[in-house]
Amino acid sequence: MADIDKRMTLKEAVAKFIHDGDTVYYGGFQIAVPMALTHEIIRQKKRHLTTIESSTDVGGLDLLVGAGCVTEIHTAWIMNWYVKAPYAIRRAFNKGHLKRYDISNFGATSAMMAGFLGIPFIPIRGNTGTDMIKHNTTDLRTIEDPFTGKKQTVVRAWRADVAVIHAQKADRLGNVVSYSTRGVTDEFGAMGSKRGVIVTAEEIVEPEITRSDPDRVIVPYFKTLAVVHCPYGAHPSASRGYYGLDIRFSQYQGKYERHAELLPHFLDEWIYGCADHAAYMKKYVEKFGQEGLDRLKPILGFKPKMDIDYGYHDPACWKGVPLYTDDRLKAYEEALAAKKGGK
């Protein structure tokens, strides 16, 4: 069995696997946003990226656009909920630095589902009759249903070059464990990617541990390019079972997002000024105290109570066991044989 260790640093993963001009699946939703990867993409000044996702909160994508990394977005919903707007995105759109393609959540999810399925497009009910289908013909069209002749809205398949996601656990081979939402759309966005997936994980576990519970694996190792051990890799969004949403930090970051002249100071202090994510978290504790981190501790005690066993059956038990029969079957088979013999 190939045992390729895909663990590497954040810096190596982004340098090696994200190229200027790539289309990137941007993972998470309101939690599990890949913020450490966001910061590293900004640090390495990647350019002309296109992102695909359904909805994304806490301003990660706003920072990527504000820092000049992303110039095209396909999305249903983007903001930093804690300041109620996507400020850098708004400014970039106004200045003509950003192409934005709007679609509904299920439109986006379906687009990634089509990418996951390896088919060119998929019918959907939503978006019909709105200005989204009017302005976003790159993703949305109306065709004739070949079976009924009726009008049908379709969305083209979205396939990223590379996917960036944050998960709770991964093993060194790249089996990615995400539970509770099962990543919202991460399993489809990631599996539909052409080159593969970069994952940051709160914990690295042994492959025998992930393989003991494969139902929780949302990305299998063959699809994974890089595994980065990165505690607090989703901060200020949450990671289920590890930490909650850092509302105060999102509000703080949001104030910098809001003002074009302030944003560079945030990027300098929290991203360019930090060598890696550990340095960012260290700065956090220096500036807002250990109590800031302590407030994010989740309420635990909700381990599954279902005792399951992934046991299997050994067919060797059939060796030497005579075929089951009874008098009726025997009589029928004898009669059938006699009839054939009589011909």
Partner 1 sequence: MADYKLTELMTIRCAREISDGEVVFVGVGLPIVVAAYAFATHAPNMIMFTEGGAIRATPPPGLAITVDDPALFTNADATFGMLATMAALQRGEVDVAFIGGAQIDKFGNINSTGAGDWSKKESFTYFAGSGGANDMATSGKRVLAIMPQDKKKFVEKCEYITTPGFLGGPGEREALGMIGGGPDCVVSTMGVYRFDEDTKEMYLAEFFPGQSVEKIKAACAWDLKVSPNVVETTPPTAEEVKVLRGIDPTGFYLG
Task: Please report, as ranges, the residues that interact with partner 1 according to CB under 8 A.
Answer: 29-31, 54-55, 57, 75-79, 81, 85-86, 89-90, 93-96, 100, 102-107, 109, 113, 124-132, 135, 150-152, 180-185, 187-188, 238, 240-241, 244-245, 247, 298-299, 302
d(CA 158, CA 38): 20
d(CA 79, CA 48): 20
* DSSP structure class, residue 48: S
Residue 280's φ and ψ, nearest 5 degrees, are -60, -45
- In the bound complex, what is the minimum distance in angstroms from residue 207's beta carbon to partner 1? 25
Which CB, 57 or 171, lies closer to partner 1? 57
Which CB, 83 or 173, lies closer to partner 1? 83
Which CB, 304 or 320, lies closer to partner 1? 304
Q: Is 267 left (phi over 0), alpha (psi -120 to 50) or beta?
A: alpha
* DSSP structure class, residue 169: E
- In the bound complex, what is the minimum distance in angstroms from residue 103's beta carbon to partner 1? 7
Pairing assessment for the beta strands 23-26 and 55-56 based on DSSP bridges: unpaired
Which CB, 14 or 177, lies closer to partner 1? 177
Pairing assessment for the beta strands 121-123 and 140-144 based on DSSP bridges: unpaired
Pairing assessment for the beta strands 176-177 and 162-171 based on DSSP bridges: antiparallel
- In the bound complex, what is the minimum distance in angstroms from residue 203's beta carbon to partner 1? 17
Helix (H, G, I), strand (E, B) or coil at 230: coil
- In the bound complex, what is the minimum distance in angstroms from residue 69's beta carbon to partner 1? 18
Which CB, 35 or 225, lies closer to partner 1? 35
- In the bound complex, what is the minimum distance in angstroms from residue 136's beta carbon to partner 1? 10
